[in-house]
Each structure stands twice: as C-alpha cells, then as structure tokens.
Amino acid sequence: MQSTVYFYGGAGAVTGSNFLLDTGGGKYLVDCGLRQGLDEAANWEPFAYDPAGISHLVITHAHLDHIGKIPKLVKDGFAGVIISTTATKALAEPILRDALEILTRNAEHHGRPVLYDATHIAAAMRLWRGIGYHEKVPLPDGVELQLLDAGHILGSAMAHFERGGKTIVFTGDLGGGNSPLLKPTEEVHPTYMVMESTYGDKTRPEDAERFERLENVIEDAVARGGTLLIPAFSTERTQDLLFDIRKLMLEGRVPEVPVYLDSPLAEKITHAYMAHPEYFADDIRARIEGGEAIFTFPNLHYMQDADESRKLDSNPASKIILAGSGMSSGGRGLAHERQYLPDKNSTLLIVGFQAVGTIGRRLIEGAKTLQLYKEKVPVRAKVETLYGYSAHRDSESLLEFVNKAADSVQEVFLVHGEPASSMFLAQRIRDYLGLKATVPELGQAAVIEL
Ligand SMILES: [Zn+2]
C-alpha cells in the first residue's frame, strides 16, 4: 500500500513543524507548530489542507514550534482527536496560554489580527487525549500509532505509525542524551524516518562538561560583581539549569548568591514536571517519589509579578536571574536584557539554539548594539554561550541514531533544520551509512510504502 507524507512546516526551517500523513483512507497530522524568527508572518497564512478533514493530530512534545498553531487549527475547523503523552498535554496548556499573551502583543504591534483566542485553546484541550509511551492506538484505515521516548523534554515522543508491517517514525526533536533528568532516546527500526536536524552541521564537545562550564560561568560572573542573566526556555532548559545550579550550591561549588526565577510560565512548568515523576529517568523518579524537591533550594526565589521583576533590576548586588523566553523575543527576559546588556560587569549566558533573526542569534554573532523596544541598547556585558544545555542531538549523535536504524530504514527525510544544516547531515548519511537521505522543501510531498 502507498501513503503520502506532506511537509507543510519545519521543512528547511527549525520552527513551525507540521507534517501530514495521508494513507488514502486516513489523514493524520504530526505537530502543528508556530513559526518563529524571520518567517513569523507565515503563521497567518491559511493551512495547506482542510483542518476539518483530519481525524487525528499527534503531538511529539510541548515546545511552541510544535504546538503553537493547534488552537488556530481548531479555530479553522479541526474537530478530531489530539494525541500526545500525558506529560505533554499537561505542559501544553500553560505554554499555549502564555503564548497567547505574547501573540496578542505581537499582533497589536504588527497590526495583524490575533491568531486565536482563549476559547480555541480550551476547545483544543477538550479534544486532547493523553497516553503513555508504548500504548498502541488504532487509527482509521488500518494504521496503528505508538509514542516512543525521544528524550528531548519531559514527555517528548517520537510518533511511530505502522501499517502492514511497514513503519514511519516522526522523531520530533531528539534529546542530546545530556539531561540528567530524562531517559535516553529510544532506539527505533522503522522503514522511513522523518528526523530533525537542528544541529545537523554542529558538534558540541562540551556536552559532557556542561556542569563544569556552568560552574565556571557562575564563578566568573559573581567575581565580576555583576548580574548573571540567563534567558532560558521555560520547558526543560530551565529545569535542567535549576537542577544543576541547586547541585552546585548545595555542594558549595559556587557562591550562594540569590537565584531568581523570573518567569511565571517556568514556575508552572516546573510544578507540572514535579507532578509527572513517571516520565523522568529512573533514579530521578525515585528521588521525587521519595519526597526530594529536586528543583528547590534555599536561595531560589520565584518572582510572582511584574513589579517584583522590575524592582529586581534596581538591586545592584550579584545575583543570577533565570528569565523566560529562550529566543529572547519577548517577555520579562527582554526587560532584563535592556537593563544588563549595557552593564560591563554583568554576564549574559546564552544556553541554546537561537533562530536566525532573533536577538539571541545577533548576540552570539557579536552585535555591539541591539534594537530593544525601539531603542538602541549598547552591548557591554560579557556574552557567554553554553550549547551543552541544548536539548538536541548534535551532528555526530544524529548520525549515530540513524546508524542504529540502518538495518531497516529505506529513506531518511531531514526536517527541522536550517537548509545548510539538513543538507550537511543528508550528505553524511549518504556517505557514511549509504542510506537514501533527502531534505524536503516546504510543501513537498513524498510517496512511501505504508
Ligand atoms: Zn523541541
């Protein structure tokens, strides 16, 4: 039998994941993400398919570039079933609600209509069914779905579709195996693989030393007498950092300066993490179930409201601020950046992938001034990067993941990467593994045996 995969988003780009698997008698979507960075305007374009004709939407994980357009899909007529792990469902609701605030602000700024409202989020949550890893879900047209652990963020999954002995796996984002909190990515042996390639052309030797590097950055930042500002994604990155900072402080390896978590969303996500111990690595699960508050320590303070957040900036003492908004595109993180970037004693630590066109990317590229809130802000603070906190695999480890599936895979489709990154990895898969690897363009279709 034949099916068709359509690459409607996350092809030739790292954001906006959206794939359609059409088996003839069944239409299933995988992910429905928001585009971020340069092609944000594309979010307002109509879907390339009729949302009402889709029976199931499978969600790999709760990052906004995989879930951010679900409420728009519902608004535009989708009335099928949304399937993800239970943890992903729990994380998705606060993330979507938080995104709505930012989307509303951005829409006003750009003079565009808001993509959706709170009623569409509520409607999406009513259609949403949480399942566990390895639970087999029959779909129409003789297809069976399973979710496998992707090891990327809590509850992250690969979507595994099977029919007539043939299989296709959509990897979603694949964890780097560097999180102490999560289980490693499961091995898969599918016929076809639609795989992410965010870091398809990068190697990150520092993954193993990220804990020591974080220790050095904190020591250096405190010694310089300023503030260490860490803009971090609210999901996974913040929890990884809290876990490691807690360890460094409890073991007396860094000075016990106050740590402020200034992101109401990250606080909610941290609570949702603690409510789902079964999704953690076994030793962490045991510690949580034994009553250990793995993200809590005496000098950690949660910033409740925006007033408190503003007051923080008038306090000159050394401190660490973990602020929301990983791509530095809005929220309180931006207000802190305006405060600390011009301060030569302060340090800005960038901990993950920054999409082209974002402020974070310009800082990594060495920008000396930035445009924030319509004003030019000089960059005098020390800018440090620590890629070891990326929740993604690097080029070597993506290749290794494909290699383990080489016994079964007929073709690998590389998505969720900037073109140079995907092309580079495709070439390596062809050269080193002798497998067929393609980089689909946006809107392209591929016929598969399924
Ligand atoms: Zn992700």
Distance 65 CA to ligand 1 centre (A): 7
- Residue 449 structure tokens: 């045996």
pLDDT of residue 331: 62
> 358: helix, coil or strand?
coil
Q: Rounded to a whole number, what is the distance in angstroms from the first to the last CA of the chain?
A: 5
Distance 82 CA to ligand 1 centre (A): 18
pLDDT of residue 328: 40
Condensed to tens digits (0 to 9), the pLDDT of residues 109-145 reads 778 899 999 999 999 999 999 999 999 999 999 999 9
User: How far is residue 289's CA from residue 291's CA, in Å, rounded to a whole number?
Assistant: 5
Q: Using the structure block, give the residue that is written with the tokens 């790292």.
A: 14
Q: How confident is the model at residue 173 (pLDDT cuts 50, 70, 90)?
A: very high
pLDDT of residue 207: 65
> Of 173 and 358, which is predicted with more confidence?
173
Distance 307 CA to ligand 1 centre (A): 31
Does 153 score more than 90 pLDDT? yes
Condensed to tens digits (0 to 9), the pLDDT of residues 194-215 reads 999 998 998 876 666 889 999 9
Distance 14 CA to ligand 1 centre (A): 10
* CB 262, CB 311: distance < 8 Å: no
CATH homologous superfamily of domain 2-202+391-449?
Ribonuclease Z/Hydroxyacylglutathione hydrolase-like (3.60.15.10)
* CB 232, CB 238: distance < 8 Å: yes
Mean pLDDT to the nearest integer, 36-56: 90
Q: How far is CA 240 from the centre of its chain?
A: 13
What percentage of the chain reaches a pLDDT higher than 70? 97
Mean pLDDT to the nearest integer, 360-376: 86
Distance 85 CA to ligand 1 centre (A): 14
pLDDT of residue 326: 46
User: How far is residue 366's CA from residue 328's CA, in Å, rounded to a whole number?
Assistant: 15
Does 320 score more than 80 pLDDT? yes
pLDDT of residue 371: 85
Distance 417 CA to ligand 1 centre (A): 12
| DSSP code per residue over 284-344 | HHHHHHTT--TT--TTEEE--SHHHHHHHTT--S-EEEEES-TTS-SSHHHHHHHHHTT-T
- Residue 373 structure tokens: 């809130």
- Helix residue spans in 132-236 (DSSP H): 210-223
Q: Using the structure block, give the residue that is written with the tokens 């639970």.
A: 135
Does 327 score more than 70 pLDDT? no
Mean pLDDT to the nearest integer, 103-109: 81
Distance 292 CA to ligand 1 centre (A): 27
User: How far is residue 307's CA from residue 309's CA, in Å, rounded to a whole number?
Assistant: 5
Distance 174 CA to ligand 1 centre (A): 8
pLDDT of residue 325: 62
Distance 253 CA to ligand 1 centre (A): 31
pLDDT of residue 309: 83
Distance 43 CA to ligand 1 centre (A): 18
Distance 261 CA to ligand 1 centre (A): 21
Distance 66 CA to ligand 1 centre (A): 7
Distance 448 CA to ligand 1 centre (A): 26
Q: If you average pLDDT over each of 258-272, 294-308, 422-436, which comes out highest?
A: 422-436
> Which backbone phi and psi does 285 adopt, to 5 degrees?
-55, -45
Distance 328 CA to ligand 1 centre (A): 16
Distance 95 CA to ligand 1 centre (A): 13
Distance 61 CA to ligand 1 centre (A): 7
Distance 224 CA to ligand 1 centre (A): 34
Angle at 391 between CA 425 and CA 34, to 5 degrees: 85
Distance 444 CA to ligand 1 centre (A): 22
Pick the CATH number of 205-389 from 3.40.50.10890, 3.40.50.1820, 3.40.50.360, 3.30.470.30: 3.40.50.10890
| Mean per-residue pLDDT of the chain | 92
> Of 207 and 185, which is predicted with more confidence?
185
pLDDT of residue 234: 84
Mean pLDDT to the nearest integer, 232-257: 93
> Of 71 and 386, which is predicted with more confidence?
71
Provide the 10 A C-beta neighbour count for residue 108. 10
> Closest Cα to residue 233, out of 103, 338, 360, 43?
360
- Determine the residue type at 182: L
In the chain, where are the structural domains located?
Answer: 2-202+391-449, 205-389
Does 12 score more than 90 pLDDT? no
- Helix residue spans in 290-428 (DSSP H): 306-312, 332-340, 359-364, 395-404, 419-428
Q: Using the structure block, give the residue that is written with the tokens 């088996």.
A: 23
Q: How confident is the model at residue 55 (pLDDT cuts 50, 70, 90)?
A: very high
Element (DSSP H or E) covering residue 372: strand 369-372
Distance 369 CA to ligand 1 centre (A): 29
Does 228 score more than 50 pLDDT? yes
> 436: helix, coil or strand?
strand
* CB 72, CB 101: distance < 8 Å: no
Q: How confident is the model at residue 287 (pLDDT cuts 50, 70, 90)?
A: very high
What percentage of the chain reaches a pLDDT higher than 90? 73
* CB 262, CB 340: distance < 8 Å: no
Same fold, 2-202+391-449 and 205-389: no
* Neighbouring residues of 108: CB distance < 8 A, sequence distance ≥ 6: none
Distance 173 CA to ligand 1 centre (A): 5
In this prediction the pTM is 0.91
Distance 358 CA to ligand 1 centre (A): 17
Distance 229 CA to ligand 1 centre (A): 22
> 265: helix, coil or strand?
helix
User: How far is residue 370's CA from residue 363's CA, in Å, rounded to a whole number?
Assistant: 8
Provide the 10 A C-beta neighbour count for residue 165. 8
> Closest Cα to residue 436, out of 192, 169, 200?
192
Distance 30 CA to ligand 1 centre (A): 14
Distance 354 CA to ligand 1 centre (A): 12
